[in-house]
Structure 1
Amino acid sequence: MESAPRRARTGHDRLPARRQDGALSPRTRGRNAAGTGRGARDRPGRRRRPLRRRRERGDRRRVPAHPARSPAAPAGDRADLERPARVAALISPRPPHRRLLLVDADAFYVAVARLVDPEGAGKARLLIVGGSPERRGVVTSASYDARAYGVHSAMPMARAVRLCPGATVVPVPWEACAGKSREIRDVLGRFTPAMEQASSDEFYLDLTGTEKLYGGEPLAATAGRIRAAVSEATSLSVSIGGGTSKLVAKLAAGRAKPRPGAAASSDGVCIVAPGAEAEFLLQFALADLPGVGPKAQARLARLGWRTVRDVAPLERSALVARLGEREGTWLYDRVRGVDRSSVEPEREAKSLSRDETFAADVDDDAALGAKLRALADRASADLRDLGLAARTVAVKLRDADFTTRQASRTLPEAVRSDRAVSVVARQLLRRLRATRRMPARLLGVALSHLVRGGPDAQLPLLDVPPESSVETERDRAIARAIDAARQRFGPDALGRGNP
């Protein structure tokens, strides 16, 4: 008699293992006795889920084919649901919205200049901080009253003075600004360790997950307490923006600032609620978005796009077709307030630089050397202020015909003293002057490959004998003494003479 074709067995009709004599195998008997095998199916009060074997990455544990609390899925989607990542997403709680703040000091350089000189700059309503107009300097910052005349940062100082003829012009108090920046950072560190310093006067804070720590208070209330704490400790005013991304927080901080002629938050705080990002962005021009520079603005304007409202209705595919995959996707996300970059607490400066544009072109080697030493001293002081040291020293020289040249040297060990930086910088300047001799319009010193802690906290990459080191312990001791004197008696209390 011909047997019927064998039907493929499924996990539901697979028979228990039996020996040839028909008895259950010992393994199957043991499972049924414990209530975990096939025999337990018919016991009253027991509900059994079908089991499958999960083989990903060698894991052979038995897990439910349909996880508890997971929604029912069509049969065609079961293969997708069996992926571990998909299953985890179904059973895991939704992650909380990020709670990010940007703390931005109001007219930082102007405010510090007024604190340093309360009788002069402190009483000037129209105040511009920056380089000298006679020396082709530029504006670093201006008081809000001066900004109403059209003065803004990076503007040539000569033009700023023409726009606002009654303004008082003072130099930037660099050392005092560095000190106030540290004071702000110290205050913010009391609220969260997740802090990224974007500049001397801008700080990103990540308060995600701190709701219980602050008793469930709204983010706006926390921001208000931060403002009060900074004001009390530093005598400076800050504006704070908040949202679910760094982009939204930055734009919100701008809306919180006390700018003349613009709507501003009365309490210096502007928080964008989760889900309101796209609507909030509609009020901005594309030029207001960080990352949209002049070239991008011109390109977008040629397409008829000048505001976020012009772009927001467009699909991602339309933007990709016009701008390309990378740029189109980037713009699609930004006009909706999407920015996945995170707050980086350990972010360090990549480089430090000081430069000077001369009022008149300089061709004398001695004069250039003196100016270079002053720039090197300021750069190395900045370095020590931040607790850093540098392995690479570079010199930038812009000739009278606007040709810009640069020379650099990477050292076997990091340096931070005035003398060491100056010695290397003067060697580089001589090299540049030897290859092309022309009056100089601009001179600069840049320090990079920065390390924290200075030379005492690192192992040199090469076994350099002490007598061949660029920087000696004596240099470091002198630098510490200079810093102590400047901190006590002011930035101009002590300087270094010619070698």
Structure 2
Amino acid sequence: MSARRGRIEDVPYPDPTRPAVLHLDLDAFFAAVEQRDKPSLRGKPVVVGGVGGRGVVATASYEARVFGIGSAMPTGQARRLCPNAAYLGGRFDAYRPVSEQVMALARELSPLVEPVSMDEAYVDLGGREDGGPLDVDGVTEIAERFRADVRARTGLTVSVGAGGSKLVAKIASDLRKPDALVVVPPAEQAELLAPLSVKKIPGVGAVSAQQLARHGFHTIGQLAVAGEQELVRLLGRAHGGGLWALSRGIDPRPVISTREAKSVSAESTFGMDLTDRRDLEHRLGRLSERVAARLVEQGLAGRTVTIKVRRYDFQTLNRSRTLQHATSSAKEVGGHARELLRAIDLAGGVRLLGVGVSGLTEYAQADLLSADDVEPVLDPDLPEEPEEPVRDDAEEWRPGQDVCHDEHGPGWVQGSGAGRVTVRFEGPHTPVGRIRTFADDDPALRPAGPPEYLPQGDPAPG
């Protein structure tokens, strides 16, 4: 049974006596799609993310991870660790259809599917209508069939963890990546959890881990033995009590098939540091327009307005204001965002600016009385901001971009610069392709959509 907006009381809670909760995690998803579609990159280090001077890594292939490259690492640092890797910009028009295929396969297992991101989801097999055994053997059979279906349909591998709760399933899926299945019988979960680092528990970050380590707690098993009273004394009732429950594998969170948005936001990264306060306030207004449009589109409004400012020295500042009523008005969001910005020291420059609205609800009473708030008030003396944010790695031809040439057919951009663009002509079902270099304004070369991937067993086009 799926959850209604804002309510989860109708959602069945996981049965802790059965390993029926699955956590699905596509292995190195973005990089895996790139390697699937580009034969010359298979078995080689691939890094997907921002390719400019201020870019960060979104995903690294397992071949790149050997060099110590990981998500959220600055691209410049990654290049120093592995200069010979392929550094590609993201192709979300290629990733989204694959994600949709995998989520559709997950929904064939059970209606209780909770997507966490494009490459990750929980499934509660207890929501199946056909019944059937959900013991270790039954869950193993279901999960192995799902993994085989994902490989056949998408050409990618998925790691799956199964347990009596979200916590155990999530930890299990990460134990033997990539391309693995780990089913944890409820009777064995304490033994599995005991030797693992406390950082494996959701909510235990670097600060909490250091605090626990100072008191001799390094593993989940040590937390379980410590007892609730000791953890509450160290971390407070809410955090300490919750941590003790999780250390024993107790996690009653249900798998919610309709995930509610916690916030709606938009941000821009600038090619050079901006110092003009009027210009930044103008850009905040444009970002507020985008946020408000998304709120209206989803039938939502929110009470808390937040701005995000990343300074020239990479220090990130967040400032929030909670209103007495929910709003989806661009004028109101922009006004509060600009007031929050005025309290921040902008000396030295700003490289990223963002606006978000949280504390969401389905309607905004104030908006019913504010029909004149549709158009935001902006400074007319400042130029219009482009429709899409300008990123420091923006260029006409992006590494990894899909293209097509009138003579050579489909391919992808390996690199560009100095008026030239280098293209390798290949696709997911071809041998490693040849490389050609063209003038970057060659009329025969044009951007293209992602190549078609044919599932295993489908006939190749004639």
Q: Report the TM range for the smaller structure's normalisation.
A: 0.5 to 0.7
- Listed one character per residue, the Cα deviations across residues 239-293 of structure 1 (whole Å, up to 9, x for unaligned) are 11000011110010001412xxxxxxxx621000121110111231112222211
Distance 1:227 1:358 in 2: 41
Determine whether 1:289 maps to 2:201: yes
Distance 2:237 2:321 in 1: 37
Does structure 2 retain, via aligned residues, the 8 Å contact 1:110–1:129? yes
Which has more strand, going by share of residues?
2
Determine whether 1:276 maps to 2:188: yes
Determine whether 1:391 maps to 2:301: yes
Cα shift at 1:156 = 1.7
- Where in structure 2 are the equivalents of 1:11-22 lying within 5 Å? none
1:137 matched residue in structure 2: 55
1:469 matched residue in structure 2: 374
Question: Helix, strand or coil for the counterpart of 1:129?
Answer: strand
Question: Helix, strand or coil for the counterpart of 1:181?
Answer: helix
Distance 1:211 1:141 in 2: 37
Determine whether 1:257 maps to 2:257: no
Distance 1:95 1:288, change over 3 A: closer
Name which of 238, 248, 255 aligns with 2:168. Answer: 248
Name which of 99, 103, 109 aligns with 1:181. Answer: 99
Does structure 1 retain, via aligned residues, the 8 Å contact 2:289–2:334? no
Name which of 85, 110, 118 aligns with 2:38. Answer: 118
Determine whether 1:232 maps to 2:152: yes
1:100 matched residue in structure 2: 21
- Listed one character per residue, the Cα deviations across residues 92-150 of structure 1 (whole Å, up to 9, x for unaligned) are xx9953611111111122223445x6267x4571111112351x222111111111111
Question: Helix, strand or coil for the counterpart of 2:175?
Answer: helix
Distance 1:228 1:424, change over 3 A: same
1:161 matched residue in structure 2: 79
1:32 matched residue in structure 2: none
Question: Helix, strand or coil for the counterpart of 2:102?
Answer: helix
Tell me the amino acid that sits aligned with residue 252 of structure 1: A
Does structure 2 retain, via aligned residues, the 8 Å contact 1:106–1:237? yes
Cα shift at 1:391 = 3.2
2:216 matched residue in structure 1: 304
Distance 1:352 1:368 in 2: 20
Does structure 2 retain, via aligned residues, the 8 Å contact 1:369–1:426? no
Question: Helix, strand or coil for the counterpart of 2:108?
Answer: coil
Determine whether 1:440 maps to 2:350: yes
2:142 matched residue in structure 1: 222
2:418 matched residue in structure 1: none
Distance 1:172 1:257 in 2: 23
Moved more, 200-209 or 173-182: 173-182
Question: Helix, strand or coil for the counterpart of 2:187?
Answer: coil
Distance 1:464 1:111, change over 3 A: farther
- Listed one character per residue, the Cα deviations across residues 297-316 of structure 1 (whole Å, up to 9, x for unaligned) are 11111112212344444444
Distance 1:361 1:272, change over 3 A: same
Tell me the amino acid that sits aligned with residue 388 of structure 1: Q
Distance 1:375 1:176 in 2: 26
Cα shift at 1:333 = 2.6
Distance 1:300 1:149 in 2: 30
- Listed one character per residue, the Cα deviations across residues 43-65 of structure 1 (whole Å, up to 9, x for unaligned) are xxxxxxxxxxxxxxxxxxxxxxx
Distance 2:234 2:277 in 1: 53
Task: Report the aligned-residue RMSD.
Answer: 4.4
1:355 matched residue in structure 2: 267
Distance 1:192 1:435, change over 3 A: closer
| TM-score normalised according to structure 2 size | 0.64
Distance 1:119 1:371, change over 3 A: farther
Give the aligned length: 362
1:51 matched residue in structure 2: none
Tell me the amino acid that sits aligned with residue 44 of structure 2: R
2:46 matched residue in structure 1: 127
2:317 matched residue in structure 1: 404
Question: Helix, strand or coil for the counterpart of 1:463?
Answer: helix
Cα shift at 1:460 = 6.4
Tell me the amino acid that sits aligned with residue 213 of structure 1: G
| TM-score normalised according to structure 1 size | 0.60
Structure 1 unmatched runs, 5+: 1-93, 259-266, 453-457, 472-477, 480-488, 494-499
Cα shift at 1:198 = 2.1
Distance 1:426 1:200, change over 3 A: farther
Distance 1:351 1:235, change over 3 A: farther
Cα shift at 1:334 = 2.5
Question: Helix, strand or coil for the counterpart of 1:345?
Answer: coil
Moved more, 360-369 or 226-235: 360-369
Tell me the amino acid that sits aligned with residue 317 of structure 2: T
Distance 1:161 1:171 in 2: 14
Distance 2:316 2:90 in 1: 28
Does structure 1 retain, via aligned residues, the 8 Å contact 2:19–2:185? no
Q: Which has the higher contact order (CA 8 A, sep 6+)?
A: 2
Moved more, 172-181 or 314-323: 314-323
| Structure with bigger gyration radius | 1
2:5 matched residue in structure 1: none
Question: Helix, strand or coil for the counterpart of 1:290?
Answer: coil
Q: Percent identity?
A: 34
Distance 2:150 2:354 in 1: 34
Question: Helix, strand or coil for the counterpart of 1:205?
Answer: strand
Distance 2:16 2:307 in 1: 49
